Copies of this chain bind each other. A is one copy, B any other.
Amino acid sequence: MERTFTALLARMQELRDLQGIIGLATWDQETYMPAKADGARAHQLSTLQGLYHERLVEPWLGETLAWAAEQPGLEADQRAMVRVLTQERDRAVRVPQALVKALAEAQSRGLAAWRQARKEKRFSIFQPALARILELRREQADAYGHDGERYDALLEGYEPGMRVARLTPVLTALREALIPMVAAIVAAPRRVPEVLKGRHFDGEAQWRFTLRLLEAVGFDLEAGRQDRSIHPFTGGTHPSDVRLTTRIDEANPLNALFSTIHEAGHGLYEQGFSEAHYRTPLAAAPSMGLHESQSRLWENVVGRSLAFWEHFYPVLQEAFPQALAGVDVGGFHGAVNRVSPSLIRTEADEVTYNLHIVLRYEMELLLIHDELPLADVPAAWNERMKRYLGVTPPDDTQGVLQDIHWAWGEFGYFPTYSLGNLYSASLYRAAERALPDLTGHLRRGELLPLRDWLRTHIHRQGYRLPAEELIRQVTGRGLTDTDFLDYLRSKYGALYGISL
């Protein structure tokens, strides 16, 4: 095959097309696929992933990428494409096929053991499978290569460029600020009542309202769609084909509302990539944390703000005149922002949420470093829960077994959730500087100025820069907990009537 940038681009496009199709098959699996097709779909996905891997590790691609990296005539975007694909390929070639296979098997066993362990509420049932997963993930980290910090090699798979040495001080400081903040809120004399409990919210009306929200945030429903699934997610095949899902619960409208706004944040990112980057490695977020910053910015910073609901609460009331009778916008805003230390990460509020993450991050470091006997994991978990959040899981299912991530072998993933929160606050602050009437826009239901600012400064940049560099370019500084803590202090201080 020829050694030209055109040939290289054609291979990049082929790889992106395959990723798109894998996205379609995965989306379909969670939405419309008939139940009995499970086994066939697993084969189909494995065939596609095998083809993708085979094309990626082909020696010609490695040689052509190395050649391209030396060409002085390439444009900046072309150089970035070469850099990003080289990173991906280098990681793929470093892991021996035997290890890939062993990991897939360990994950599959891990998942089964985790499900059984949850059923019986005993971590010990999951422990042997976890031991094997950890052994293999350590081996994989060494195969990727690192400067003595194995966790860095795993983190790189989700948050390229981020390092433990950079992350630990930020998350530790965050933890130290959050623990007293939670305590102060819990002790606040003002109560925030759960005004939505015990009411019924018609499913079809919820669905229609979520579509209104999608329209309002500027999600293009001709270049995407929304469907229902058990676990909401964002998928699709291409920036012109972005697929969100949401979940309707007639007893609790917040599920669908915030799932839709959250996934719309991801979806706007995907739809916002530059046409010039389509079908290349640049039509991608530089990290999971940055992707998550978009979903959390829309879900939390915008979607749980009083300004946002000043416009949308009357619309919501029109959709649910009976269910929302007697609830005013203040009561609703309080109900969607109640702070309450709890056991389950996915149900946590904005203030306590990151303590759940820091706990997992600390546990993961210990596990990957092999510094914690596995038999002691539940006790270590529970001890931290008590220390950080003041609560104690009654059993392992509500404790260390609550997340699927470790059963899937995903170590290094959890911190990207906190990075998403920290980046979202910093980005929103930068947006406020650039759009002086941003709060006014929200109050009037005008969400497009914010979307367009994000589109210009984040979405259209794609993967030109690593996440923290892009954040630095947009906000003037890199990763920090300052903006996020300021945001929490101001919002929750007002809500609970205390000084934080």
Interface residues of A in 26-41 (CB under 8 A from B): 28, 32-41
Residues of B within 8 A of A227 (CB): 32
A238 pairs with B47, CB closer than 8 A: no
Residues of B within 8 A of A51 (CB): 14, 51
A18 pairs with B47, CB closer than 8 A: yes
Q: List 28 A-B contacts (CB under 8 A).
A: A13-B43, A14-B51, A17-B43, A17-B44, A18-B47, A20-B44, A21-B21, A24-B24, A24-B28, A32-B32, A32-B225, A32-B227, A34-B223, A34-B224, A34-B225, A34-B241, A36-B220, A36-B223, A37-B223, A37-B237, A37-B240, A38-B240, A40-B238, A40-B240, A40-B278, A40-B279, A41-B241, A44-B237
Interface centre among A33, A44, A48, A220 (most CB of B within 10 A): A44
B47 pairs with A17, CB closer than 8 A: yes
Inter-chain CA distance A220–B34, complex, in Å, is 10
A162 within 8 A of partner (CB): no
B21 pairs with A40, CB closer than 8 A: no
Residues of B within 8 A of A224 (CB): 34
A40 pairs with B220, CB closer than 8 A: no
Inter-chain CA distance A25–B20, complex, in Å, is 10
B21 pairs with A25, CB closer than 8 A: yes
Contact of A241 among B20, B37, B47 (CB under 8 A): B37
A112 within 8 A of partner (CB): no
Given A21-B25, A24-B24, check contact A222 B36 (CB 8 Å): yes
A interface size (C-beta, 8 A): 40
Residues of B within 8 A of A17 (CB): 43-44, 47-48
- A55 CB, min distance to chain B CBs, angstroms: 9
Which 8 A-B residue pairs are closest in the complex by CB-CB distance?
A37-B241, A40-B238, A17-B47, A36-B223, A36-B240, A17-B44, A37-B240, A35-B222
A327 within 8 A of partner (CB): no
Inter-chain CA distance A313–B25, complex, in Å, is 40
Residues of B within 8 A of A24 (CB): 24-25, 28, 44
A221 within 8 A of partner (CB): yes
Residues of B within 8 A of A34 (CB): 221-225, 240-242
Inter-chain CA distance A221–B40, complex, in Å, is 16
Inter-chain CA distance A403–B28, complex, in Å, is 32
Interface residues of A in 211-254 (CB under 8 A from B): 220-225, 227, 237-242
Residues of B within 8 A of A225 (CB): 32, 34
Inter-chain CA distance A44–B44, complex, in Å, is 16
Residues of B within 8 A of A25 (CB): 21, 24
Given contacts A24-B24, A36-B241, 19 further A-B contacts (CB under 8 A): A17-B47, A17-B48, A18-B47, A21-B48, A24-B44, A33-B241, A34-B222, A34-B241, A34-B242, A35-B222, A36-B220, A37-B241, A39-B240, A40-B237, A40-B240, A40-B241, A40-B278, A43-B279, A51-B51
- A37 CB, min distance to chain B CBs, angstroms: 4
Inter-chain CA distance A241–B33, complex, in Å, is 7
Inter-chain CA distance A80–B21, complex, in Å, is 31
- A264 CB, min distance to chain B CBs, angstroms: 15
Residues of B within 8 A of A50 (CB): 14
- A16 CB, min distance to chain B CBs, angstroms: 9
Interface residues of A in 426-455 (CB under 8 A from B): none
A21 pairs with B44, CB closer than 8 A: yes
- A274 CB, min distance to chain B CBs, angstroms: 14
Closest to A20 in B: B44
Interface residues of A in 1-23 (CB under 8 A from B): 13-14, 17-18, 20-21
- A382 CB, min distance to chain B CBs, angstroms: 42
Inter-chain CA distance A298–B240, complex, in Å, is 39
Interface centre among A20, A24, A40, A221 (most CB of B within 10 A): A40
Closest to A33 in B: B241
Inter-chain CA distance A36–B239, complex, in Å, is 9
Closest to A17 in B: B47
Inter-chain CA distance A43–B220, complex, in Å, is 21
- A53 CB, min distance to chain B CBs, angstroms: 13
Residues of B within 8 A of A222 (CB): 34-36
Inter-chain CA distance A108–B44, complex, in Å, is 29
Inter-chain CA distance A106–B47, complex, in Å, is 32
Closest to A242 in B: B34
- A30 CB, min distance to chain B CBs, angstroms: 13
Interface centre among A20, A37, A240, A278 (most CB of B within 10 A): A37
Inter-chain CA distance A248–B44, complex, in Å, is 32
Inter-chain CA distance A154–B295, complex, in Å, is 53
